[in-house]
Amino acid sequence: MNIGEIARRAGVSRSTVSYALSGKRPVSAATVQRINDVIAELGYRPNASARALAEGRTRTLGLVVPPASRRLTDVQLGFVGSVVDAAAAHDLDVLLSPSGGDHDRSFERIVTGRRVDGVILMEILLEDPRVERLSQASLPFVTIGHVEHPGASWWVDVDYGALITRCVHHLADLGHEEVVLINRSAELVAAGYGPALRSATGFLDATAARGLTARTVCCADEAAAGLACFEQIRTQWPSVTAAVTINEAALPGVQRALHRAGLEVPRDFSLTGVIAERLAEDFHPPLTAADVPAVELGRLAVDLLLAQIADAGAEPRHALLEPPISLRSSTGARRHG
Amino acid sequence: MNIGEIARRAGVSRSTVSYALSGKRPVSAATVQRINDVIAELGYRPNASARALAEGRTRTLGLVVPPASRRLTDVQLGFVGSVVDAAAAHDLDVLLSPSGGDHDRSFERIVTGRRVDGVILMEILLEDPRVERLSQASLPFVTIGHVEHPGASWWVDVDYGALITRCVHHLADLGHEEVVLINRSAELVAAGYGPALRSATGFLDATAARGLTARTVCCADEAAAGLACFEQIRTQWPSVTAAVTINEAALPGVQRALHRAGLEVPRDFSLTGVIAERLAEDFHPPLTAADVPAVELGRLAVDLLLAQIADAGAEPRHALLEPPISLRSSTGARRHG
DNA sequence: TTGTATGCGTTATCAG
DNA sequence: CTGATAACGCATACAA
Q: How far is A62 from chain B (nearest CA, A)?
A: 9
Chain A CA closest to residue B298: A68
Cα–Cα dist A317/B1, whole Å: 29
| Interface A:B, Cβ pairs < 8 A | 143
**pLDDT value for B124:** 93
CA of B108 to C1' of D14 (A): 39
Q: Is residue B258 part of a domain?
A: yes
Yes or no: say if A83 and A120 are a contact pair by the CB < 8 Å rule: yes
Query: Does A102 have pLDDT greater than 80?
Result: no
Residues A93 and A15 in one domain: no
Yes or no: say if A83 and A305 are a contact pair by the CB < 8 Å rule: no
**pLDDT value for A67:** 84
For chain A, the straight-line distance linking the first and the last C-alpha, in angstroms and rounded, comes to 80
Residue A238: asked if its preceding bond is cis (omega within 30°), the reply is no
**pLDDT value for B270:** 98
Q: Is residue B128 part of a domain?
A: yes
For residues A40-47, give the mean pLDDT: 94
Residues B98 and B76 in one domain: yes
Cα–Cα dist A142/A319, whole Å: 11
Strands A141-144 and A242-245: unpaired
**pLDDT value for B69:** 67
Domain that includes residue A170, residue range: 160-292
Beta bridge partners of A213: A178
Rounded mean pLDDT for each run of 10 residues along chain B, 337 residues in total: 94 96 94 96 95 97 86 85 93 92 80 96 94 92 96 95 98 98 97 97 98 98 95 97 96 93 96 94 92 94 97 94 96 83
Yes or no: say if B168 and B326 are a contact pair by the CB < 8 Å rule: no
Cα angle A275, B185, B174; round to 5: 95
Query: Does A101 have pLDDT greater than 70?
Result: no
Residue B46 sits at the chain A interface (C-beta within 8 Å) = yes
Q: Is residue B326 part of a domain?
A: no
SS3 track for B288-333 = EEEECCHHHHHHHHHHHHHHHHHCCCCCCCEEEECCCEECCCCCCC
For residues A87-108, give the mean pLDDT: 87
Residue B58 sits at the chain A interface (C-beta within 8 Å) = yes
Cα–Cα dist A189/A218, whole Å: 8
Helix ranges restricted to H, chain B = 3-10, 14-22, 29-42, 48-55, 74-89, 105-112, 129-136, 160-173, 186-191, 194-210, 223-236, 251-260, 277-282, 294-310
Residue A177 sits at the chain B interface (C-beta within 8 Å) = no
Residues B69 and B146 in one domain: yes
| pLDDT tens-place string over residues A62-84 | 999 998 766 778 888 889 999 99
Range of lowest pLDDT (A151-160, A234-243, B19-28, B72-81):
B72-81
Mutate which: B1, B47, B49, vs A, most A CBs within 10 A: B49
E strands within chain A?
60-65, 93-98, 118-122, 141-144, 154-158, 178-183, 213-218, 242-245, 270-275, 288-291, 318-321, 325-326
Q: Is residue A263 part of a domain?
A: yes
**pLDDT value for B103:** 55
State chain A's mean pLDDT as an integer.
Answer: 94
Query: Does A256 have pLDDT greater than 70?
Result: yes
Residues B171 and B277 in one domain: yes
Specify the 3-state DSSP secondary structure of A13.
Answer: coil
Q: The CATH number of the domain where A241 resides is what? A: 3.40.50.2300
Yes or no: say if A300 and A165 are a contact pair by the CB < 8 Å rule: no
Give the DSSP per-residue string, A59-73. SEEEEEE--TTSPPP
Give pTM, 2 decimals. Answer: 0.94
**pLDDT value for B151:** 87
Q: Is residue A333 part of a domain?
A: no
**pLDDT value for B77:** 86
Q: The CATH number of the domain where A31 resides is what? A: 1.10.260.40
Residues B65 and B118 in one domain: yes
The number of distinct structural domains making up chain A is 3
| pLDDT tens-place string over residues B31-75 | 999 999 999 999 999 999 999 999 999 999 999 998 876 677 888
Any idea how long chain B is?
337
From B39, B55, B71, give the residue that closes a domain: B55
Cα–Cα dist B103/B124, whole Å: 12
Instruction: Measure the CA dihedral A126/A130/A132/A138, to 10°.
Output: -140
Q: What sign does the CA torsion over B119, B122, B127, B130 have? A: negative
What residues of chain B lie within 8 A of the CB of A258, using their CB? none
Residue B85 sits at the chain A interface (C-beta within 8 Å) = yes
Q: How far is B316 from chain A (nearest CA, A)?
A: 26
Q: Is the CB of B58 under 7 A from strand C?
A: no
